Structure 1
Amino acid sequence: MLQGCLSQSVGSYFGASNVDRTTTGSIAGQAVPMAGPSASGGMVPQISIDPGITNSKDMYAAVFDNGISLPAVPYKDMDQRFVRRIVPNITGELPGTIVVDTANRYLYLVQPGNEAIRYGVGVGKEGFAWQGRAVIQYKKEWPVWTPPAEMVARKPELQKYANGMEPGAMNPLGARAMYIFKDGRDTLFRIHGSPEWKSIGTQASSGCIRLINQDVIDLFNRVRPGSPIVVL
């Protein structure tokens, strides 16, 4: 499978990767769970209802989008930590901010009410690192993927895509891309979709932050150009 982009795992203030801090998912059409005692004796926060955060069968169903068909994701085979859900905001950032926790393979989109939408992500292999604060400069539906020259040098078989690979279900940038700029300059890092759902939760790419296509479509619809992003 083709690999898109340029990131690596770094330290995180969110804790160990095997800790799932989810209180509960939000199920559309069902009652909102009331706050109740946690195992530690504190109160588990009430979690909101969101039409984009329903059950996995619906969230990861097949999609026909802009004339392109995306297959359903076998969500039962996924690591359930990486299923899209609403969680308490543990990032300390303001609503509208994207926070990428590369160590634990999560992307948070901070919401009002001290909550966040959390998505599972795949990150870049060792040697393709970027971290810091930046903004989403712009975003694209069904982007054309053009491998950078250094990638073509490493993988000569990509020469045929030197002028760009047309959008499609197998395009490495997936269904959507969000372009990360810092101080007005392109970092060359992206948040983008991927046809490789098994890569979520791993260091599998040549960089960038990848999401399942169904998740990146949901994120894309929530994020505006100029939104702040923090990559840890």
Structure 2
Amino acid sequence: MTRRSLLASATAAAAATALAGCTTNGPPQRNRVIEEARPIEQKLGAPVSMYAAVNDGGHAVPAVPFDRIEQRYLRQVVSDPTGERPGTVVVDTSNHFLYVVQRFGRAMRYGVGLGRQGFEWSGNGVIEWKQHWPRWFPPEEMIERRPELDKYRARQVPGTNEWEGGMPAGVTNPLGARALYIYQDGKDTLYRLHGSPEWWSIGKSVSSGCVRLINQDVIDLYDRVAEKSPIVVTSGLRVT
């Protein structure tokens, strides 16, 4: 198994200086099992329940002040504007939306935040694999800029194809509660969908990161999308 190359950004302790990001130079995941999406009741609860505090995998995810986020970026069922077949994930970078296409002309829509990397790739791909509470591996160029991140450097175990290091999973980890990895023609696009503790970045474009969702939303998304699902990234959707 070869080493995966992953994009990244950094998280700082203070919210004002925290950055969202993807991962780079991360180790491969060994002996993965392909996960099927679980059917979920179409009817959504009120935002106060959707964005309430939750304990997930032993991690205490804090509640999100949803009333401070534009309502259009909250999770909701909408008429499908994509024309794609059910099960397809569509990222609309121009409007900061992510859709999971459903049957009968409907789609589940989430607000997303974007960074520089979020605009660097577009086209059709496949969600090759997914991960619960991923570790974060900062890229070499980021470590050069911020030497304090050296402790999270990816290190190959001598004589093996295994890797160690990285920032442990947790609510302050830049990848959040889930990460979905996008491939095209069998190759890593370096494009990620992932959670983030930075709820205030939803609907905005900030300096770093791929496509970030509120942690409660990426947990919901993860369960709706199977590995090997098609994904389309575009800036051409018209949304009313």
Return the TM-score normalized by structure 1: 0.77
Question: Which string of whole-angstrom CA distances, capped at 9 and with x for unpartnered residues, describes residues 35-75 of structure 1?
Answer: xxxxxxxxxxxxxx724x22100000001011110000011
Residues 214-229 of structure 1: pairs in structure 2 closer than 5 A = 214-229=216-231
Question: 1:105-156: per-residue Cα shift (whole Å, max 9, x none)?
Answer: 0000000111000000001137961111100001010000111223323433
What do residues 185-223 of structure 1 show as CA deviations (whole Å, max 9, x unaligned)? 111211000000001011125231100000000000011
Tell me what 1:23 maps to. none
Task: Give 2:167's match in structure 1, choosing from 161, 165, 168.
Answer: 165
State, as a whole percentage, how many aligned pairs show the same letter. 57
Match of 2:37 in 1: none
Are positions 1:152 and 2:143 aligned together? Answer: yes
1:26 aligned residue: none
Identify if the C-alpha distance between structure 1 residues 96 and 193 changes in structure 2 by more than 3 Å, giving closer, same or farther. Answer: same
Q: Pairwise mapping of residues 132-147 of structure 1 onto structure 2 (< 5 A)?
A: 132-147=123-138
Aligned twin of 2:160: none
The aligned counterpart of 2:35 is none
Cα distance in 1 for residues equivalent to 2:118 and 2:226: 30
Match of 2:206, SS state, is strand
1:3 matched to 2:20? The reply is: yes
Deviates more, 1:97-106 or 1:160-169: 160-169
Q: How many residues align?
A: 189
1:74 matched residue in structure 2:
65
Pair 126,67 (structure 1): closer, same or farther in 2 beyond 3 Å: closer
- AA aligned to 1:134 is G
CA RMSD of aligned residues (A): 1.7
Correspondence 1:113 to 2:104: yes
> How far apart in 2 are the matches of 1:205 and 1:69?
27
Change (3 A) 1:185 1:193: same
Answer yes or no: is the 8 Å Cα contact 1:4–1:205 preserved in 2. no
3-state SS of the aligned residue for 1:215?
helix
Q: Which runs of 5+ in 2 are unaligned?
A: 1-17, 24-40, 154-164, 235-240
Q: Which amino acid aligns with 1:50?
A: Q
Match of 2:188, SS? strand
